Amino acid sequence: MNHWLVKSEPAAYSWTKFVRDGRTAWTGVRNCQARNHLRAMAVGDPVLFYHSVTDKQLVGRAQVSRPAFPDPTAKDGDWSAVELVPVAPLPRPVTLAAIKADPQLADLPLLRQSRLSVTPLTPAQYQHLLHLAGV
């Protein structure tokens, strides 16, 4: 089982909208490395949902419900999407400032490759982020 972090601007697609929708196809990823991460996702993999740009915080837990398939929004190229379902909001959002201040998270891809919208997490990073969120 792999662990993941996905990022979305709340103005484009928020956690609240995701919960209301009940599931979503994670489309529109146009970075080869992030696309490869999508292709590595398996049904049941846990995912943390991060609000980027304005909120800059982890806000919820999700799960992969359908593995990679061709991205229906791609006009050309070899792009993939996955389907995600919400699991639960985090009791306490984990801010980017808190993540940056935590030495245990110094190697977090969110900090090292901040532009990627899909990044892997180690099981230890995932569990530590849940701990910070009060889960």
pLDDT tens, residue by residue, 46-88: 999 999 999 999 999 999 999 999 999 999 989 999 999 999 9
Sheet strands (E) in the chain: 3-8, 24-26, 46-51, 57-70, 80-95, 118-121
Contact assessment for residue 125 and residue 108, using Cβ atoms and an 8 Å cutoff? yes
pLDDT cut 70: percent of the chain above it = 100
Domain ranges of the chain: 3-132
The amino acid at residue 2 is N
Contact assessment for residue 34 and residue 28, using Cβ atoms and an 8 Å cutoff? no
pLDDT of 115 reads 86
Contacts for 135 with CB less than 8 Å, ≥ 6 apart: 61, 90, 91
**5-16 confidence digits (pLDDT tens):** 999 999 999 999
pLDDT at 113 over 90: no
At residue 2, φ and ψ (nearest 5 deg) are: -105, 160
User: Which pTM was predicted?
Assistant: 0.95
Q: Which class in CATH covers the domain with range 3-132? A: alpha beta
